[in-house]
Structure 1
Amino acid sequence: MLDQIAGCLERGMEVSVVCNEMAFGKDRNIDDARWRTLPGPVVSWWGGLNRCRSLLRKWSGRFWDKLSTFIDLANAHKLRNADVVVAHFGHNGLRVARVMKRRRISAPLVTIFHGTDVGRPMHDGTLHQYRPVFEKGALQLPVNAFFRQALIDAGAEPTQVVVHHMGIRPGEIEYHWRSWQGRTLSFISVCRLTEKKGTEYALRALACLPHRDWTYSVIGGGELLDELKLTAIDLGIADRVTFLGPRPHGEVKQRLRDADVFLLPSVAGRDGDLEGIPVALMEAMAGGLIAVSTYHSGIPELIEDHKTGFLVPERDVAALAGKLTWIAENPGLCEPIALAARRKVEADFNSNALNERFAQIVARLGETGSNT
C-alpha cells in the first residue's frame, strides 16, 4: 500500500490517506522511507471515536453493523472531495459502498482484495456480504486470480473484477547469488508468526534433513512465537534456529542478502485466513534467494515448481523436507532457478509497471466520474 501511494504521488496525483489505524506497521518498518513521504495529514476515519472502536464493537454486539455504518455516515465528509476512492481490503470497500447507497459519496469506488478479506468469508460462506461493493463499486481489484474467481462466484460482474498484483521495485534490490557448496546452508523466514505462514511445518521439515550443516533465522513476531520456540526445542533443533522477532527494515534487507533459501510454507488457517501473494516472497526472489512455498491461494502465480522456486502441498512435511534436501544437495542446479525467479519478478511483479497501470485505471475512473 505504501508503494502504491508513492507510485501515485510520483505520477503527479494528489493523494489523501484516510485510515483506521494511524500507525499500522510503522513500529516494524520505521526506517522505511515511504512513511516519511506519506501525504499529510493522515486522517482517522472515525476521528476521536477510533480509539473506542473495539469497545463499541463489543458493546453493540449484533447491532454493530448499524452502529458502525451510522458513524461512517457521520464521517463521510472526509471522503467527499476525492475523485476516486480506493479502499484497501474488502471490509473497507463494504463500508464505503454502504455510505454510497445513502448518496453521501459519488466518486467511483475501487476495492482491492488482499487475502483475509476473501479467505475468511469463503470459509464462513459469507462472501455475499460484498454485494453492495459489487453493485456500487466501479471496479474490484483482487491481488490474484484465485480471489477473482471467488468474487465472481459470489456475484461480482466478471468485467468489473480485474487481477492487479501487488509488487516490489526490483531495481532497489541487488541480485546476489552465492553457492552454499562447502559451507553452512542458511534458511530464513520473514513473516508474522501466525498459523497461515506455516512456520511450524518449516521447523518440522528442517528437523528431517539428513544434513545437519544448516541454520534457520525467523524474523517477525506474533501470537505463535513462544509455541514455535518450544516446537524447535522438542524437535531438537533449537541450537540451529534463531527467532529474531520484529527487526527494522534495513536489517531485514541485510539478513536476506546473507541467506540462501527463503521458507514460507503457507497454509489456509482454520478460520479461513489466506495469503494473497506474499510480497516477502517477491523480495526474496528478486534478491537471488531460492524460494520454497506451497500450492496455496495465488502463490503458484508467482512460483512455478522447480523453475522459479519450489512448491509443495500445504502441511506436507515429508514433501517439504524432500525439497529442502534436494536444494541442500544441488547448489549448482539452483543457480538458474534463482535467476529465473528474478526475471519472473521483474516481468510480472514490478511495482513500477504495476503502479503505472494502477494510475491509468484511477485516472480513467476519475475522468468518468467527473463526467457523470
Structure 2
Amino acid sequence: MAERLLLLVPSLRAPSETFIRANATGLPFDTVVVCADEIPWSGPPLRTAYGLSIVVSKALHRLAPALPRCLAQAVRRFGTWLPSRLVSRICRIEQPVVVLAEFGFHAVQIMELVPATGLPLIVHFRGADASAHRYLFHLKERYERLLELSSAAVVKSEIMRKTVLGLAHRRTSPLPVLVSPSGANPAVFHGADPAAAPPLFLSVGRFVAKKGPLLTLAAFALAARDLPELQLVMVGEGPLLAQAHQRAIQLGIAERVRFAGLRTPAEVAELMRHSRGFLQHSLTAPDGDQEGSPVAVMEAQLSGLPVVATWHAGIPDVVIDGETGILVPEGDWKAMGNAISRLAADPAFAERLGNRGRHRCLTRFTTGHHHDQLATLLSQCAERSGQKE
C-alpha cells in the first residue's frame, strides 16, 4: 500500500495552475488533498472550519502591515496558529507520513503543524511567493520561521533556490532544496511541425505584468510590418487583457491578433501543432514578481516548437539560446521582433530549434521527471522523520 501524503493547496480550480492538479493526481502516494480556498459547506465540519480559518488568517495577514510592529507580530502569529491547529487535527485523522504545502504564502498559514504533529513539512515555492515584494517583505519573519520548521523546499529555478536559502539562515542544519521545474505532459503536448505550419505564433499565459503581453504585442507588430501573412494567437485572461486589446488597435495589428481566452491543455496543444513558434516575454514586474519556470514554455518545447523568450528567472534553465530557442533581454521588444521575423522567414531553422527543444524536454522536463524527483524527496523526508521517532 502506498504511503499517505497530505497535499495542502489553495485551490484545484485555478485555470492556469495545471501543475497543482498534476501533483494531486500524479505523485505515487495515497494523496489526500485539502483545499484552503474551496470551503466544503456540506462536507466534514473540520474541513469547513479549516477553510474558514484560512479566510480569517488572510484577513489578519492583510491587516498586520498597518499595525504597530509588536501588535502586527501577534496578529500574524494568531493568523498562523488557528489554521495550523485545525490542520493538525486533520493530520491526526488522515495519518499522513509527510505533508506537502503548495506556495510559500500558503505554507506560513499552517507551518505550526510541525511542532504540533512532528510530521515533515515540504514547501513548494512557485514564483511570486519567492519574488514579489508583498511576500518577501511582509512575510520575511514568517518565511524565516517556516524554513526553520520545514524538512525541505522545492523551487523552480536556481535564482529561486538562492532566495529561499537566504531566508533559511535561522536553521541549525542546511535546508535541502530541490530545483525541479513542473514539466509538461508528453501525452498531451506533441506533434508540432513548425516547418509546415503557417507563420502563426502563439502566446499562452495570464495577462499580468510579469508575462509581458504588451511587449509581446509590440514585438509582433515590429515583425508584422514586413510580413503581411504573420498572425498571433494569445491565450489567457487577466487584468491586462483589455489594455492588450487596446494596444493591438493602437499598433494597427488588431486584425492579425486573436485573443483566444482561456483554453484547456488539449486545446492549447492543438494550437501548438499549427504554429510556427511560441512567444513568452517574461520580465520582473514592478512589484518584484517573477516567474518560476513557466510551464507553457516547456509545453511548447515538448510539442516541438521553437521558443522566443527572455533571459528571465528559470527560462534559461529550460531554453538554450540558439539551440532550442532564442532568448532576448527583458524588455527588449525589438530583439524579440527580430527573432520572430527570423523564424517566420526560415521554417527550416524553426524546425531545427523545435526538434532540439523537444528532445531536451523529453529527457529533462516532463511531468514524469518532476514527479519522480519530488516523490524521491518526499520519501526521503518521511524516512528521516521515521528514523528520528
Q: TM-score surpassing 0.5? A: yes
Shift of 1:144: 1.1
1:162–1:174 distance in 2 versus 1, CA, 3 Å:
closer
Q: Matches of 1:45 and 1:357 in 2, distance apart?
A: 33
Map of 1:47 onto structure 2: 51
Q: Matches of 1:254 and 1:262 in 2, distance apart?
A: 13
1:41–1:231 distance in 2 versus 1, CA, 3 Å:
farther
Map of 1:112 onto structure 2: 124
**What secondary structure sits across from 2:31 in the alignment?**
coil
1:196 aligns with 2:210: yes
Q: How does 1:179-258 map to 2 (within 5 A)?
A: 179=195, 184-209=198-223, 210-258=226-274
Map of 1:147 onto structure 2: 160
1:2 counterpart letter in structure 2: R
Cα RMSD after superposing both structures: 2.6
1:178–1:272 distance in 2 versus 1, CA, 3 Å:
closer
Map of 1:319 onto structure 2: 335
Q: Which moved more, 1:152-161 or 1:168-177?
A: 152-161
1:284 counterpart letter in structure 2: A
Alignment check: 8 A CA contact 2:80 2:108 kept: no
1:43–1:328 distance in 2 versus 1, CA, 3 Å:
farther
1:167 counterpart letter in structure 2: G
Shift of 1:45: 7.0
Shift of 1:128: 5.3
2:284 counterpart letter in structure 1: A
Structure 2 residue runs of 5 or longer lacking an equivalent are 1-19
**What secondary structure sits across from 2:108 in the alignment?**
helix
2:159 counterpart letter in structure 1: F
Map of 1:353 onto structure 2: 369
1:51–1:160 distance in 2 versus 1, CA, 3 Å:
closer
Match for 1:88 among 102, 113, 132? 102
Shift of 1:134: 2.2
Q: Which moved more, 1:59-68 or 1:302-311?
A: 59-68
Q: Matches of 1:279 and 1:68 in 2, distance apart?
A: 32
Shift of 1:355: 1.3
Shift of 1:114: 0.7
Alignment check: 8 A CA contact 1:17 1:42 kept: no
Q: Matches of 1:317 and 1:364 in 2, distance apart?
A: 45
Q: Matches of 1:159 and 1:270 in 2, distance apart?
A: 30
Shift of 1:99: 4.0
Map of 2:10 onto structure 1: none
Aligned residue pair count: 349
1:257 counterpart letter in structure 2: R
1:274 aligns with 2:290: yes
TM-score (norm 1): 0.85
Map of 2:22 onto structure 1: 3
Q: How does 1:113-128 map to 2 (within 5 A)?
A: 113-121=125-133, 124=137, 127=140
Q: Matches of 2:175 and 2:61 in 1, distance apart?
A: 35
1:59–1:303 distance in 2 versus 1, CA, 3 Å:
closer
Map of 1:36 onto structure 2: none
**What secondary structure sits across from 2:117 in the alignment?**
coil
Q: Deviations over 1:334-357 (max 9, x none)?
A: 211111100111111122132123
Alignment check: 8 A CA contact 1:123 1:272 kept: no
Q: Matches of 2:45 and 2:356 in 1, distance apart?
A: 42
Map of 2:81 onto structure 1: 70
Q: How does 1:326-345 map to 2 (within 5 A)?
A: 326-345=342-361
**What secondary structure sits across from 1:258 in the alignment?**
coil
Shift of 1:212: 2.0
Q: Matches of 1:235 and 1:290 in 2, distance apart?
A: 25
Match for 2:184 among 168, 179, 182? 168
Q: Matches of 2:30 and 2:210 in 1, distance apart?
A: 36
1:45–1:316 distance in 2 versus 1, CA, 3 Å:
farther
TM-score (norm 2): 0.82
Q: Matches of 1:93 and 1:361 in 2, distance apart?
A: 18
1:168–1:184 distance in 2 versus 1, CA, 3 Å:
closer
Shift of 1:44: 5.8
Q: Matches of 1:213 and 1:273 in 2, distance apart?
A: 35
1:48–1:148 distance in 2 versus 1, CA, 3 Å:
closer
